[in-house]
């Protein structure tokens, strides 16, 4: 394969690829992202290959393992082209039926289709599924069509045409101006205008500059960048090269979290393939522009997602953030101008160059342009990656796309922005997603993590959870963060264990102010947010824990007790058998009683008691009723005559 | 070397480009409390005690003066209700580790810090980093370093280097505000210094 | 791990001090832990002080300074998994194997760690054993997965 040494050569090669592909030929796309692999996609892919070989259909049907289309909870996901029939939770056992029914007889296998939880209707096409129907998948749409190990798939979808356009028809300043005009704001959390950041680097006098992809994605609950990097790595590479061209940089770095081994593998492969095609390296497409990119893995530190800490890690040191008094786009990696942007930000760049800034500004709101990918997880019916235009309300995301709360539970709060963000309650659900609106409500949009919580989630525990996370992930250099979080964690843990005292909330507020005002970096400055937002909207829960030693969500282990209601227990004996602490006393036709001394609060009895009895209850804030007398424990079953 | 004029606590101060606000204040005889600062070492910005209000172009923000570079027409205030409150809390957080430290005690008097506000912590290291930085930047021996991160961060001597270098040096000992350094050294010496037979 | 293999890894990264973390990651991934001799060799060849290597090896959670068990178990305690009950999965594993998170059993058979997000959030709670991810875990399913690795009940 000779290097493509001009934009014309690229176009010719692209046409060559397309001419060899028949859009009408059936293609079975199986998601091979980390989520579906965990659900068994490898076995499904193997099963398809084996079945197709068995039926002698190799020439008639293509199969490919593709990037993540985001509907991870229903994986393995299979989409059959050209009809776009979407099958969910496919197992190797389903494969022969799919081949014989759908491929051979063009019939749909109903039971594998998405079923609307409310209407019971089946959706055949991916675009009919309520989860997908209300999304606008400008960035993610290609994932299911691309085998990320094959650059030709990306080229077949117009890949690298933006790069060709930028290098041959635009000057570096033209590219910069287009990105500025688009108002693209960083998708990593801070939302800084990308064009302005790029301009600062372009104008800095130092000749050697860097462009960096932040693929650390440390926010727990967020996996948008994983899907993009695994599923469509070339889109990020293309954006990065265009960015390098715009600011005058010849060297790029991609910092990937080591917890994403598949993403590391796929991006490394993509780089090799791009180099082989002449889309990376020296004299790209004959333009005279050189650009090389290097991949660095993270080593398990959330703080390295902070831009200055990331640069310090790239230098081979511990990820300690630096003060931002001199901006890193002027003095960053190795004290040189460095543009660091999030994966999703880079992925938007080729689209802006190809479609124009005006196209981009038509999507979204006044201050937040374009789409945003969210990872909608937690207590929600349709879990997965959701790409929507900025300005859509939280309510629409959670109910129209997410399908609401499962198991008939009540919505309580949605947590956005990861450990830097906050919880948003029901009354604020009509807020529009964007960079500024959520901040006013005490949270932030962040990198896109959106964790839905229901009535069983204790909000004090949520605050404790995030502070606990940060005590471990803090770099430990500055006092307000290291020591402030240490004390906040101790106080919050005490509160969840029933040891809270009057004055705790005020002390937590003082510590919060110190961290917000005096911390070295954004980790410390935003660390109190989960506490402050849960206090703002759920103060009653804090007060119940402190004053009444009661957990309203019936969640905090130290504050709940399990109790078998003698009016409902029919001595089926299941809890007795399953109790790991052997804490239940009972027998045939004898009402069961939990020995509170032996009970470890594991909750097994609560889960296994058959719903038609529902005899196990959780009690908090009041004493457990004493056991009923022995003689009352005998159950006399009514005979059919007496009823 | 261009001159920069800024205002600190109402007083006009002449500074040079590249100077920090702390250095400028010190040159004008204005005192700002510090713990992790040392004139022979690169500024660290860890204790945050030297935090001050800085006003420029109509915006006021809190900055750490040992690191923040001087700007023309910058207006600096070294004391305010908020600054004092933050310094008091920082001191109380550190006193939870080292309630008997003379340096902390003196500062606590000024800011009304209560050494019993927070529950006592086991380790009396306050992570000013003076020992680690002095050994790295001045002595260039790197006999003592940091380990781990977050609330588990500690200082640790490298036994092979410390056993050879420290007994004849110990220049970092007087720098330690809490004497944790000396205690750590003695413990390391007793437990893990390579014996002379190795 | 022999010195030659360590040297090969260092050479692959052009003996660059900025690649220190990448070099240690390669050693950790092959050897499952970072022996002191390996760290000394790396420090020697890259001309980096031991104190910096010591800080890096303890700062980043991917590294282990002690030998790990043959089977490495990771439990995701990210927010999405936490909200769906990851704590109970952790309890189940701790009881089944008899060690707490951060520990290795005496036979060097199992090592248990909590991880702060594997990126499979939609499948929470998530358990990873030897790099293989298991989603939608419950205490019962967890016990089943562990049986494949020979845990006593």
CATH number of the domain enclosing B38: 3.10.20.740
- Give the Cα separation of A448 and A433 in Å (integer): 10
- Does residue B117 share a domain with residue B135? no
Specify the pLDDT at position A642.
45
Q: Do C50 and B156 touch (CB under 8 A)?
A: no
Hey, what CATH topology would domain C71-147 get? Answer: Glutaredoxin (3.40.30)
A167 CB contacts (<8 Å, ≥6 apart)? A7, A245, A284, A285, A287, A289
Residue ranges, comma separated, of all CATH 3.40.30.10 domains in chain C are 71-147
- At A34 the pLDDT is 87
Q: Does B96 touch chain A (CB under 8 A)?
A: yes
Confirm or reject contact between A38 and chain C (CB < 8 A).
yes
Which whole number is the average pLDDT over A428-449? Answer: 93
pLDDT tens column, A96-133: 999 999 999 999 999 999 988 778 889 999 888 988 98
Instruction: Count the Cβ atoms, other than its own, within 10 Å of residue A577.
Output: 10
Q: Select from A37, A73, A258 the Cβ nearest to the Cβ of C122.
A: A73
Q: How many Cβ atoms from other residues are within 10 Å of residue A403's Cβ?
A: 18
Domain A560-632 has CATH 1.10.3720.10: no
Q: What is the mean pLDDT of chain A?
A: 94
**C54 CB within 8 Å of a chain B CB:** yes
% of chain C exceeding 90 in pLDDT? 59
pLDDT in tens, C54-93: 999 999 999 999 999 889 999 999 988 988 889 889 988 9
Give the pLDDT mean for A610-625.
Answer: 93
The residue among A319, A482, A506 with the most chain B CBs within 10 A of its CB, best to mutate, is: A482
Of the given ranges (A82-91, A113-122, A383-392, B144-153), which has the lowest mean pLDDT?
A: A113-122
Q: Is the pLDDT of residue B198 over 50?
A: no
- In terms of residue numbers, what domain contains B141? 130-192
Q: Are residues B141 and B179 in the same domain?
A: yes
Cα torsion A319, A325, A329, A330 to 10°: value is -120
Give yes or no: residues B136 and B102 share one domain.
Answer: no
Does C115 touch chain A if contact means CB atoms closer than 8 Å? yes
The pLDDT value recorded for residue A227 is: 94
- Strands A338-342, A371-378: parallel, antiparallel or unpaired by DSSP? unpaired
Q: Give A218's pLDDT tier (boundaries 50, 70, 90).
A: very high
As a whole-number percent, the residues of chain C with pLDDT over 70 amount to 99
Question: In C, which residues are within 8 Å of A37 by CB distance?
Answer: 133
pLDDT for residue C144 is more than 90: no
Residue A373 pLDDT level (bands cut at 50, 70, 90): very high
CB–CB contact B150 A482 (8 Å): yes
pLDDT higher than threshold 70 for residue B21: yes
Across the interface, whether the CB atoms of C134 and A226 are under 8 A apart is answered: no
Cα dist from B68 to A353, B33, B72, B137, whole Å: 39, 15, 13, 21
**The length of chain C, given as a count of residues:** 153
Counting as contact any 3 or more CB pairs under 8 A, the partners of B are A, C
Distance from CA of residue B20 to its chain's centroid?
Answer: 15
Percent of all residues in chain A with a pLDDT value above 90, rounded to a whole number: 86
CATH numeric code, A459-547: 1.20.1440.230
Q: Is B144 on the interface with C (CB under 8 A)?
A: yes
Q: How far apart are CA B149 and CA C54, in angstroms?
A: 12
Mean pLDDT computed over A215-237 = 95
Do B40 and B86 fall into the same domain? no
The H helix count followed by the E strand count for chain B is 6, 7
Query: Would you state the pLDDT for residue C141?
Result: 87
Q: What is the pLDDT of residues A43-97, one digit of tens each?
A: 999 999 999 999 999 999 999 999 999 898 898 999 999 999 999 999 999 999 9
A297 and C124 within 8 Å at the Cβ level: the answer is no
Tell whether the torsion through CA atoms of B166, B169, B173 and B175 is positive or negative. Answer: negative
Contact A476/B151, CB-based, under 8 Å? yes
Measured between alpha carbons, how far is A266 from A256 in angstroms, rounded to an integer? 11
* Domain A371-454 grouped into CATH 3.40.50.720: no
Of A89, A94, A105, A86, the residue nearest A39 (C-alpha): A89
- Rounded Cα gap, residues A610 and A616, in angstroms: 9
Q: Which pair of structure tokens corresponds to residue A7?
A: 């934009």
Question: CATH 1.20.1440.230 region(s) of chain A?
Answer: 459-547
Q: What is the CATH number that goes with domain A21-132?
A: 3.40.30.10
Chain B positions in Cβ-Cβ contact with residue A318 (cut-off 8 Å)? 146, 149
Of B136, B149, B158, the CB nearest to C54: B158
Among chain A residues, CA nearest to B36: A478
Final residue before a domain boundary, out of B13, B44, B79: B79
CB-CB under 8 Å, B46 with A478: yes
Say if the Cβ atoms of A478 and B67 lie within 8 Å: no
Residue A121: its pLDDT value, please?
Answer: 87
Q: For A11-35, what is each residue's pLDDT tens digit?
A: 999 999 999 999 899 999 999 998 8
Report in angstroms the alpha-carbon separations of C63 from A430, C116, C139: 45, 15, 28
Beta carbons of A486 and B151 less than 8 Å apart = yes
Mean pLDDT of A506-523: 97
Domain A159-362 in this protein, CATH class? alpha beta
Shortest Cα distance, chain A CAs vs residue B47, angstroms: 5
Closest CA to A202 of A179, A173, A170, A162: A173
Both tokens of residue A354? 């190809």
Chain C touched by A575 (CB under 8 Å): no
- Residues A416, A399: Cα–Cα separation, whole Å: 16
- Mean pLDDT, range A206-234, rounded to an integer: 95
Tell me the two tokens of residue A318. Answer: 């511990």
Q: What is the largest distance, in Å, between two alpha-carbon atoms of chain A?
A: 96
Work out the pLDDT band at A460, boundaries 50, 70, 90.
very high
* B172 shares its domain with B161: yes
Q: What does the pLDDT look like over A528-561, one tens digit per residue?
A: 999 999 999 999 999 999 999 999 999 999 999 9
Q: How far is B73 from chain A (nearest CA, A)?
A: 17
Kindly identify which residue of chain C lies nearest to residue B149, measuring between CA atoms: C59
Contact of C18 with chain A, judged by CB distance below 8 Å, is answered with yes
Contacts of C51 in chain B (CB under 8 A): 132, 136, 142-146, 158
- Is residue C72 within 8 A of residue C109, CB to CB? The reply is no
Chain A residues in contact with B82 by the CB 8 A cut-off are 517
Chain C within 8 Å of A218 (Cβ-Cβ)? yes
List of E strands, B20-165: 51-56, 59-64, 75-77, 144-147, 154-157
Q: Which residues of C touch A35 (CB under 8 A)?
A: 119-120, 122-123, 135
pLDDT above 90 (res A643): no
Alpha carbon A613 to chain centroid distance?
A: 38
Give yes or no for residue A222 having a pLDDT over 80: yes
Question: Which chain C positions have a beta carbon within 8 Å of A475's beta carbon?
Answer: 59
DSSP state, residue A407: G
Q: Are the Cβ atoms of C61 and A258 closer than 8 angstroms? A: no
In chain C, DSSP finds a helix count (H) and a strand count (E) of 7, 4
Residues B65 and B7 grouped into a single domain: yes
Distance from CA of A398 to the nearest CA of C (A): 14
Chain B CB within 8 Å of residue A330 CB: no
> Band of the pLDDT at C150, cuts 50, 70, 90?
confident
- Chain C residues with beta carbon closer than 8 angstroms to that of B149: 58-59
Measured in angstroms, the CA of B188 and the nearest CA of chain C are apart by 15
Give the C-alpha distances (Å, rounded to integers) separating B53 from A513, B8, B81.
Answer: 15, 10, 11
Q: B70 with B84, same domain?
A: no
Residues 6+ away with beta carbon under 8 Å from C79: A220, A221, A378, A415, A418, A449, A451, A465, A466
Residues in B touching A472 (Cβ below 8 Å): 149-152
CB nearest A34 (choices: C21, C116, C119): C119
B86 and B142 inside one domain: no
Chain B residues with CB under 8 Å of A519 CB are: 48
C30 min Cα distance to partner chain A (Å)? 14
Per-residue pLDDT band at A143 (split at 50, 70, 90)? very high
Q: Are residues B7 and B75 in the same domain?
A: yes
Question: Which residue in the set B48, B94, B121 is minimally distant from A518, CB to CB?
Answer: B48
The share of chain A scoring above pLDDT 70, in percent, equals: 99
Rounded average pLDDT over A581-589 = 89
What is the number of structural domains in chain B? 3
B182 and B141 inside one domain = yes
Is the previous residue joined to A82 through a cis bond, with omega within 30 degrees of 0?
yes
Mean pLDDT (chain B) is: 94
CB < 8 Å from A in window 60-99 of C? 60-63, 76-84, 88, 91, 95
Token pair belonging to A198: 């790029």
Contact A524, A479 (CB under 8 A): no
Question: Structure tokens of A199?
Answer: 């301009």
Q: How many CB atoms lie within 10 A of CB B55?
A: 14
Q: Tokens 């305010």 sit at which residue?
A: B80
Task: Name B56's bridge partners.
Answer: B59
B140 and B107, same structural domain? no
Stretch(es) of chain A classified as CATH 3.40.30.10: 21-132
Taking 70 as the threshold, does the pLDDT of residue A527 lie above it? Answer: yes
Residue B197 scores a pLDDT above 60? no
């Amino acid at each position: 394969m000779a290097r493509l040494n001009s934009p014309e050569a690229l176009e010719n090669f692209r046409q060559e690829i397309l001419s060899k592909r028949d859009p009408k030929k059936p293609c079975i796309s199986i998601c091979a992202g980390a989520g579906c692999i965990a659900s068994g996609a490898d076995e499904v892919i193997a099963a398809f290959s084996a079945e197709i070989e068995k039926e002698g259909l190799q020439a008639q049907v293509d199969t490919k393992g593709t990037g993540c289309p985001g509907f991870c909870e229903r994986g393995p996901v299979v989409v059959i082209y050209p009809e776009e029939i979407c099958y969910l939770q496919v197992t190797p056992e389903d494969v022969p039926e799919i081949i014989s029914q759908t491929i051979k007889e063009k019939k749909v296998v109903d039971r594998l289709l998405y079923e609307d939880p409310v209407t019971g209707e089946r959706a055949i096409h991916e675009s009919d599924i309520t989860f997908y129907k209300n999304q606008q998948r400008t960035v993610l749409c290609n994932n299911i069509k691309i085998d990320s190990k094959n650059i030709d798939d990306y080229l077949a979808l117009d890949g690298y045409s933006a790069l060709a356009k930028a290098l041959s028809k635009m000057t570096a300043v033209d590219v910069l101006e287009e990105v500025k005009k688009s108002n693209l704001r960083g998708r990593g959390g801070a939302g800084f205008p990308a064009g302005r950041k790029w301009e600062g680097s372009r104008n800095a006098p130092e000749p050697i500059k860097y462009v960096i992809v932040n693929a650390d994605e440390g926010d727990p609950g967020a996996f948008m960048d994983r899907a993009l990097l695994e599923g469509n790595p070339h889109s990020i590479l293309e954006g990065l090269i265009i960015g390098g061209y715009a600011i005058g940089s010849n060297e790029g770095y991609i910092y990937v979290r080591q917890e994403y081994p598949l993403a590391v593998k796929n991006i490394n492969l993509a780089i090799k393939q791009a180099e082989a095609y002449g889309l990376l390296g020296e004299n790209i497409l004959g333009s005279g522009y050189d650009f090389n990119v290097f991949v660095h893995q993270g080593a398990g530190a959330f703080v390295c997602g902070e831009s200055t800490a990331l640069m310090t890690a790239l230098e081979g040191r511990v990820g300690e953030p630096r003060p931002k008094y001199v901006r890193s786009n002027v003095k960053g990696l190795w004290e040189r101008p460095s543009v660091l942007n999030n994966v999703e930000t880079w992925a938007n760049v080729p689209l802006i160059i190809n479609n124009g800034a005006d196209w981009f500004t038509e999507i979204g709101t006044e201050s937040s342009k374009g789409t945003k990918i969210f990872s909608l997880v937690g207590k929600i019916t349709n879990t997965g990656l959701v790409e929507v235009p900025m300005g859509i309300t939280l309510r629409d995301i959670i109910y129209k796309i997410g399908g609401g709360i499962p198991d008939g539970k009540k919505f309580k709060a949605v947590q956005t922005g990861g450990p830097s963000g906050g919880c948003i309650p029901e009354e604020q659900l009509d807020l529009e997603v964007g960079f500024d609106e959520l901040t006013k409500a005490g949270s932030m949009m962040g990198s896109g993590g959106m964790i839905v919580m229901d009535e069983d989630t204790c909000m004090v525990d949520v605050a404790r959870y995030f502070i606990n996370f940060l005590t471990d992930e803090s770099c430990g250099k500055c006092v307000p963060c290291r020591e402030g979080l240490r004390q906040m964690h101790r106080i919050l843990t005490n509160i969840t264990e029933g040891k809270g005292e009057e004055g705790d909330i005020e002390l937590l507020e003082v510590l919060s102010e110190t961290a917000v005002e005096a911390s070295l970096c954004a980790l410390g400055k935003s660390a109190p947010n989960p506490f402050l937002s849960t206090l703002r909207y759920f103060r009653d829960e804090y007060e119940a824990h402190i004053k009444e030693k009661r957990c309203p969500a019936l969640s905090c282990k130290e504050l709940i007790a399990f109790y078998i209601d003698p009016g409902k227990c029919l001595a089926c004996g299941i809890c007795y058998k399953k109790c790991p602490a052997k804490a239940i006393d009972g027998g045939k036709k004898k009402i069961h009683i939990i020995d509170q001394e032996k009970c470890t609060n594991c909750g097994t009895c609560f889960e296994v008691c058959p719903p038609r009895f529902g005899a196990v209850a959780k009690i908090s804030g009041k004493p457990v009723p004493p056991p009923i007398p022995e003689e009352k424990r005998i159950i006399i079953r009514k005979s059919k005559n007496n009823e | 070397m261009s001159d920069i004029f800024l205002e600190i606590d109402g007083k006009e101060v002449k500074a040079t480009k590249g100077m920090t606000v702390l250095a400028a204040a010190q040159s004008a005889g204005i005192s700002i409390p510090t713990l992790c600062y040392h004139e022979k070492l690169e500024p660290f910005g860890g204790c945050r005690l030297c935090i001050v209000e800085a006003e420029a172009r109509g915006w006021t923000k809190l900055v750490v003066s040992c690191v923040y570079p001087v700007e023309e027409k910058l207006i600096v205030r070294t004391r305010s209700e908020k600054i004092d409150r933050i310094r008091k809390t920082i001191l109380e957080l550190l006193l939870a580790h080292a309630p008997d430290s003379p340096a902390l005690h003196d500062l606590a008097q000024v800011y009304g810090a209560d050494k019993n506000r927070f529950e006592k912590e086991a380790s009396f290291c306050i992570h000013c980093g003076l020992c680690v930085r002095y050994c790295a930047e001045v002595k260039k021996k790197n006999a003592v370093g940091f380990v781990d991160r977050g609330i588990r961060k500690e200082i640790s001597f490298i036994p092979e280097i410390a056993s050879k270098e420290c007994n004849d040096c110990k220049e970092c000992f007087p720098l330690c505000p809490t004497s944790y350094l000396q205690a750590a050294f003695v413990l390391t010496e007793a437990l893990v210094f390579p014996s002379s037979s190795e | 791990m022999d010195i030659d293999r360590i040297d090969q890894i260092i050479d692959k990264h052009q003996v660059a001090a900025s690649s220190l973390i990448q070099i240690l990651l390669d050693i950790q991934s092959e050897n499952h832990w970072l022996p002191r001799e390996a760290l000394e060799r790396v420090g020697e060849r890259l001309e980096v002080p031991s104190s910096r290597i010591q800080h890096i090896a303890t700062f980043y959670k991917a590294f282990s300074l002690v030998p790990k068990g043959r089977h490495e178990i990771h439990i995701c305690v990210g927010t999405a998994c936490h909200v769906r009950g990851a704590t109970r999965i952790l309890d189940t594993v701790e009881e089944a194997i008899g060690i707490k998170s951060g520990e290795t059993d005496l036979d060097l058979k199992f090592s248990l760690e909590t991880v702060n997000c594997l990126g499979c959030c939609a499948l929470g709670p998530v358990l990873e054993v030897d790099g293989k991810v298991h989603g939608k875990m419950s205490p019962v399913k967890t016990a089943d997965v562990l049986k494949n690795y020979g845990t006593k009940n």
